[in-house]
C-alpha cells in the first residue's frame, strides 16, 4: 500500500515540478489581464490532469484482475520503465546544457509564451487543459499513475481519493502563483518577477535534475512493489 502511495506522489511531482508551465503562469500574471488568464490556465490545467488520470485509471480497471503473474509484473514494471525514461531525459537535458546547447533558454521557449499578454480567459483555459492533457511527459506519467491506482484496487471511494490527491499535487505549482497573486496583490508581484528571471536562467538544469530525482524514486519504488 505504501509503495503504491509513494509511486503516486512521485508521479504527481513529476508533473508538478515543470518549470515551463510555471513560467507561463507567471508571465500571464505579469500581463494586463494577468489574473484572469493565469487563473484560467490553472483551471484548465487542473481539469486536464484530473481527466487524464481518471481516464487511464478507468482503463486500467479493464485489465485482467490482479493475481496472475503477468498483469502483476506489468503493473510493477510500469513505474520502473517510466522512471528510467525520466532519468534518461533528465540526463540529456543536463548534458545539452553542459555542452552549451541550452545556454540561451529564451530561444527554446514555446511560441505561446511570447503571446500570453493576448490570451483571453477562454483561450487560457483551453491552453492549460491542452498543455496538461496532451504534453507527452504528462501523458506518460498519467498513464503510469492510472496503472498504479488500478493495481492498488482501492475501491470506488479509495479511487476517488487517489485521483484527487494526484490531481492536487500535480497542479499545486500551477495554481499557487495565481492564488498568491490574488491574496497578495502587488506585494507578490516582485517575488514573481524574481522567480521568472530565475526560471528563465535555469530551465534546463531544473528540468533535468527534477526528472532524474523523480525517475530514481520511481525506479526504486517500482522494484519494491514487484
Please tell me the predicted confidence (pLDDT) of residue 144.
85
Higher-confidence position of 120 and 176: 176
Please give the average per-residue pLDDT across 102-124, as a whole number.
Answer: 66
What does the domain layout of the chain look like in residue ranges?
A: 2-225
Please tell me the predicted confidence (pLDDT) of residue 44.
95
On whether the CB atoms of residues 177 and 26 are closer than 8 A, the answer is yes
Comparing C-alpha atoms, which of 226, 215, 82 is closest to residue 145? 82
Please tell me the predicted confidence (pLDDT) of residue 72.
57
- Residue 160: beta bridge partners? none
Q: Using a pLDDT cut of 90, give the percent of the chain over it.
A: 20
67 pLDDT more than 60: no
Please give the average per-residue pLDDT across 117-129, as a whole number.
Answer: 86
Please tell me the predicted confidence (pLDDT) of residue 7.
80
69 pLDDT more than 70: no
What would the pLDDT profile of 169-183 be if each residue is shown by its tens digit? 999 999 999 998 888
CA distance 20 to 27: 11
User: Which three cell numbers mark 58?
Assistant: 478507468
123 pLDDT more than 70: yes
User: Which three cell numbers mark 80?
Assistant: 520502473
CA distance 110 to 102: 14
- Residue 66: beta bridge partners? 68
Give the CA-trace dihedral at 160, 136, 14, 203, to 10 degrees: -150
How many Cβ atoms are within 10 Å of 103's Cβ, its own excluded? 11
| H-helix or E-strand spanning residue 150 | helix 136-152
The phi and psi torsions of 17 (rounded to 5 degrees) equal -90, 75
Q: What's the pTM? A: 0.80
CA distance 8 to 82: 12
Confidence category of residue 41, pLDDT binned at 50, 70, 90: very high
Secondary structure (3-state) at 66:
strand
Confidence category of residue 90, pLDDT binned at 50, 70, 90: confident
On whether the CB atoms of residues 75 and 147 are closer than 8 A, the answer is yes
Please tell me the predicted confidence (pLDDT) of residue 74.
58
Please give the average per-residue pLDDT across 118-136, as a whole number.
Answer: 88
Please tell me the predicted confidence (pLDDT) of residue 102.
44
25 pLDDT more than 80: yes
What would the pLDDT profile of 193-211 be if each residue is shown by its tens digit? 888 888 877 777 887 888 8
- Whose cell is 512493489? That residue is 225
Q: Using a pLDDT cut of 70, give the percent of the chain over it.
A: 80
- Mean pLDDT value across the chain: 80
Amino acid at each position: 500500500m505504501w509503495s503504491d502511495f509513494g509511486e503516486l506522489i512521485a508521479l504527481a511531482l513529476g508533473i508538478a515540478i515543470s518549470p515551463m508551465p510555471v513560467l507561463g503562469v507567471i508571465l500571464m500574471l505579469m500581463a494586463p489581464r494577468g489574473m484572469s488568464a493565469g487563473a484560467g490556465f490553472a483551471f484548465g490545467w487542473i481539469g486536464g490532469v484530473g481527466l487524464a488520470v481518471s481516464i487511464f485509471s478507468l482503463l486500467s480497471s479493464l485489465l485482467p484482475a490482479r493475481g496472475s503473474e503477468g498483469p502483476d509484473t506489468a503493473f510493477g514494471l510500469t513505474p520502473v520503465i517510466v522512471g528510467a525514461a525520466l532519468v534518461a531525459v533528465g540526463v540529456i537535458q543536463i548534458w545539452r546544457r553542459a555542452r552549451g546547447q541550452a545556454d540561451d533558454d529564451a530561444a527554446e521557449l514555446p511560441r505561446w509564451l511570447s503571446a500570453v499578454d493576448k490570451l483571453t480567459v477562454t483561450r487560457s483555459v483551453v491552453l492549460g487543459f491542452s498543455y496538461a492533457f496532451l504534453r507527452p511527459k504528462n501523458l506518460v506519467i498519467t498513464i503510469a499513475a492510472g496503472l498504479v491506482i488500478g493495481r492498488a484496487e482501492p475501491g470506488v471511494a479509495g479511487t476517488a481519493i487517489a485521483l484527487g490527491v494526484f490531481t492536487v499535487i500535480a497542479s499545486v505549482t500551477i495554481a499557487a502563483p495565481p492564488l498568491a497573486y490574488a491574496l497578495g496583490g502587488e506585494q507578490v508581484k516582485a517575488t514573481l518577477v524574481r522567480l521568472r528571471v530565475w526560471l528563465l536562467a535555469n530551465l534546463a538544469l531544473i528540468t533535468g535534475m527534477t526528472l532524474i530525482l523523480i525517475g530514481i524514486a520511481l525506479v526504486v519504488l517500482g522494484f519494491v512493489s514487484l
